[in-house]
Copies of this chain bind each other. A is one copy, B any other.
């Protein structure tokens, strides 16, 4: 799955928070740029100045929203929050773009959220009946209502109480008058990294690449069920719940995160390359002439496959670097041009060749079908598709918008059927064990600390608001 031509809306996001760094908006901007792959629908930066929080948020890419130095200089202050939000389908609402900023009589609070809650709907309903008014249609606002209605004494206690009420995948960043606070859900579905800035300040961000971008030094990954307070006294951390067990989203390793990021000590590129090596062992293709990857997210796995298989790694697909979300769409009869605008086959490389095409995943299958056709039209003799992850059969409820199993080709078709549908000469997936051992987290939790629910339906939490819906869909699929 090429990361910008897959055909499903996602709800990933990227967060960054900075404490005690002159002109924090600048480093937030550069950091968000490094996290841009986690969300392209919109972005925002909030800055704390003299107990007031100002923010600028809009639709678009970070560099489109912040066009000149003035736009950052206006956001004065030495502490900040930044957020990038994924392009979702359907109605877009500027109110959903974060950081959310709350102006209370007793002080301003900004917050940013990555992930998805499974009981947000029920909580929201309950609070509305008590007179609360929600301004956004997103889950993210729920936590703040819980905090404000909490009868606990201190803000820390209110916050911990609220965190214990929400269920799902989340990392939160909060910026208050005197603190930057980060929190990770009890399963640690989403990554959050803490770093030390070159001078005296600190940074928390969704991926370590953002730390590299601004010259920060890695300190630690926030752990499941952990809350981190950064203030002028330094860093403090504590667990807000006893019920915690790591189950980080395996999709972060498979295609969300940047290859140069490290999550819980594991480099993403290295994990992908290793998944390719294992895939080569599990699903060899000795007759192939060359191995190619679908740029960019599958190149690591493809090179791993090639190395392990001893088959030449070639550049058979080129990604147009000027790809934009806003291209004029071709007419109906030329629909596959949508792929051509983004990917080109290198005819001289693929012509007459038996090819192993490595991709990171298959969602609906439409993109895979188009790429296979692209290669065949360029003269490929055979195209053997190898997927560097297990088949996607179950929806995600923790932050990836694959909430409908009917869209998942592997939930509805056998491997043979899929091979035929996408027009491949053969098709194979990485095994669950292969994926786990490629990533090789050092956790003693199930699946070595990975969430494998998309592959096997083993959800680390109760599904609450989604329980019913999921059972119904499962029933349909099982009947198939």
Contact = CB atoms under 8 A, between A and B. Distances in A.
Contacts of A341: 30, 33, 213
Interface string A136-148: 0100010011001
A240 interface: no
Nearest to A135: B135
B347 A262 contact: yes
B36 A320 contact: yes
Given A133-B148, A144-B133, A296-B321, A344 B34 contact: yes
Contacts of A383: none
B135 A61 contact: no
A454 to B, nearest CB: 24
Given A133-B148, A258-B318, 13 more contacts: A34-B320, A36-B320, A63-B322, A66-B328, A69-B329, A72-B328, A103-B134, A132-B132, A132-B148, A133-B144, A212-B378, A267-B346, A307-B312
Contact of A349 (B132, B269, B330): B269
Contacts of A267: 346-349
A104 B144 CA distance: 17
Contacts of A67: 326, 328
List the 9 closest pairs (A to B, CB-CB), nearest first: A267-B348, A131-B149, A135-B135, A260-B346, A36-B322, A63-B324, A131-B148, A260-B344, A260-B318
A124 to B, nearest CB: 7
19 contacts: A4-B321, A29-B328, A30-B341, A61-B322, A63-B322, A69-B329, A71-B328, A94-B94, A103-B137, A106-B128, A131-B145, A212-B378, A258-B344, A259-B315, A260-B318, A269-B348, A273-B315, A300-B315, A313-B313
A4 B262 CA distance: 26
Contacts of A300: 315
A103 B138 CA distance: 11
Contact of A346 (B40, B94, B137, B259): B259
Interface in A324-366: 324, 326-331, 337, 340-341, 344-349
B213 A344 contact: yes
Interface residues of A, number: 85
B36 A269 contact: no
A310 to B, nearest CB: 12
A56 to B, nearest CB: 10
Contact of A260 (B37, B63, B347): B347
Contacts of A330: 26, 30
Consensus secondary structure, chain A interface: mixed
A254 to B, nearest CB: 16
Contacts of A34: 320, 344
Contacts of A315: 259, 269, 273, 299-300, 303
A214 B290 CA distance: 26
A102 interface: yes
Contact of A270 (B4, B134, B348): B348
A135 B132 CA distance: 12
Nearest to A68: B328
Interface in A57-112: 61-64, 66-69, 71-72, 91, 94-95, 102-106
A328 B378 CA distance: 41
Given A262-B347, A321-B296, A348-B269, A327 B33 contact: yes
A125 interface: yes
The residue among A144, A296, A312 with the most chain B CB atoms within 10 A of its own CB is A296
A231 interface: no
Contacts of A318: 258-260, 269
A54 interface: yes
A91 B52 CA distance: 12
